[in-house]
Structure 1
Amino acid sequence: MSPAEPLIQLRGITKTYGSGTAAFLALKGIDLDIAAGEFVAVMGPSGSGKSTVMNLIGCLDTPTSGEYRFSDVPVHSLNRDQRALLRRRHLGFVFQGFNLLARTSAQENVELPLLYRGLGRAERHAAARAALAEVGLAGWEHHGPAELSGGQQQRVAIARAIVSRPTVLLADEPTGNLDSARGIEIMELLTRLNTEQGITVLMVTHEPEMAAFARRIVRFRDGRVESDQRQAAHAEPPLETGHAPAITPSAQEA
């Protein structure tokens, strides 16, 4: 990928659910570029297409038509195993509901992505402890979700998302289940990950006060991009934006 090319590039993306008279066109020809190191908030009313486009970018779904390129790799042409490999290597996910395993410690929850990668026990332990320390939870490694506040649970979820050092962090309403104070703490954490580590952050939110932490707001309506605006950030931008490593996923590596 040349320096001028975006990390994420969508061209003419459509997504149709159902068929015949029951068909619903969720995305109606989306064009969107996201550069490495950006912090982008995606907003829009229910049914606007914002979650659909996030699922496509996250390789959790495929477009009906159009082109999706990640680091100049044609994701729309990859098979299921190749998309899974790209997802494991380059994408981290944070959800509104935390999605932690209830009877598992914070450290064990964070280790899960590394277990799927086949890393050894000692390496998993060390990486998970380091990730928990990065989100301010050093010393909480052996606490289960029931022993943690909502804000702490979301920090564990973020640690799990970054433990594999993703290129992009996809956050779907990450503060939706938190009060305002805890929500701001999570947004400050995401901002630090973006500015200090260069992780590209793409966040769906309906809360303007949380979107204000992003440096760019893309608004969706009726399956189309309604507006795309840049804004001043809460924190100083990084000296160097994140870069996209070369990827050539193959089914054999999955």
Structure 2
Amino acid sequence: MSAPPLIELQSVSKRYGQGATELMALKGISLAIAAGEFVAIMGPSGSGKSTAMNILGCLDTPTAGAYLFQGVHVEALTRDQRARLRRRFLGFVFQGFNLLARTSAQENVELPLLYRGDSASQRRTAAAQALQAVGLAGWERHTPAELSGGQQQRVAIARAIATQPAVVLADEPTGNLDTQRSHEIMGLLLALNRDHGITVLMVTHEPDMAAYARRRVHFLDGHIAQDVLNPHPTLGPPPGLAEAPGSEVI
């Protein structure tokens, strides 16, 4: 008997506005994601993919339908309960890094642990382990201005995994990076998925980045237009682009 999905959307709709200004961003979508999957979410602007990610990340709620996380009806939770779910189970990676400019890499990574109420010693230990996992041991005291774009995104990923989440939601994680850094970041996300069992949900416009995922879900006009397995996912950076973590020139 197969395990129940980690995440499930059941006939989810999302409406913004009313009357003449009404917009149906999602139109009854259903989606099931198993623990340990790596899913690329694709589609043009206005297709509904960002709305779906906001719902999956507990940043928004559906107008109709159900969102189940480990069997719990998220749409029925209070705002505070959804916030606790985010802090405990979800990690976020954004296109713009979203690091505090005058704060060290270590302190940036500790931030979600601080919000969670962890002690100072717990925060230091978890942040150091997360930075080591993304190849930035020795860079703890550097501020974002002292790091390259690829290194800043590694700090952002370390921040996302410091809480040991079940799911990482990555929104265009390579959108601000050049080709080499993009493939390095994708190799890192792949390793977190493959070696640590973290479920990865990634929004991307780029087919070569989506090629790392084992499944691609395409949104169009508020519907899921296509949901396909990738029989031959990319297993690492292309030859000539691989580089030792943390070795980038600032």
Query: Residue deviations 1:85-119, cap 9 Å, x none?
Result: 11110000000000000000000000001111111
2:152 matched residue in structure 1: 153
Q: What is the identity, as a one-letter code, of the residue corresponding to 1:235?
A: L
2:104 matched residue in structure 1: 105
Distance in 1 separating the partners of 2:138 and 2:226 = 43
2:221 matched residue in structure 1: 222
1:24 matched residue in structure 2: 23
Structure 1: segments with no counterpart, 5+ residues? 237-254
| Percent identity of equivalent pairs | 67
| 1:25 shift after superposition | 0.3
1:45 matched residue in structure 2: 44
2:186 is the alignment partner of 1:187: yes
| 1:164 shift after superposition | 0.3
| 1:233 shift after superposition | 2.3
CA RMSD of aligned residues (A): 1.1
Distance in 1 separating the partners of 2:122 and 2:61 = 34
Which structure 1 residue ranges, 4+ long, deviate > 2 Å from structure 2? 232-236
2:197 matched residue in structure 1: 198
1:61 matched residue in structure 2: 60
Distance in 2 separating the partners of 1:42 and 1:79 = 27
| 1:133 shift after superposition | 0.5
Q: Please give the secondary structure, in 1, of the residue aligned with 2:150.
A: helix
| 1:3 shift after superposition | 4.8
Distance in 2 separating the partners of 1:55 and 1:86 = 14
| TM-score normalised according to structure 2 size | 0.92
Distance in 1 separating the partners of 2:10 and 2:119 = 40
| 1:4 shift after superposition | 2.4
| 1:234 shift after superposition | 2.6
Structure 2: segments with no counterpart, 5+ residues? 237-250
Q: Please give the secondary structure, in 2, of the residue aligned with 1:25.
A: strand
Distance in 2 separating the partners of 1:28 and 1:118 = 38
Distance in 2 separating the partners of 1:148 and 1:49 = 34
How many residues of Structure 1 are paired with residues of Structure 2 in the alignment? 235
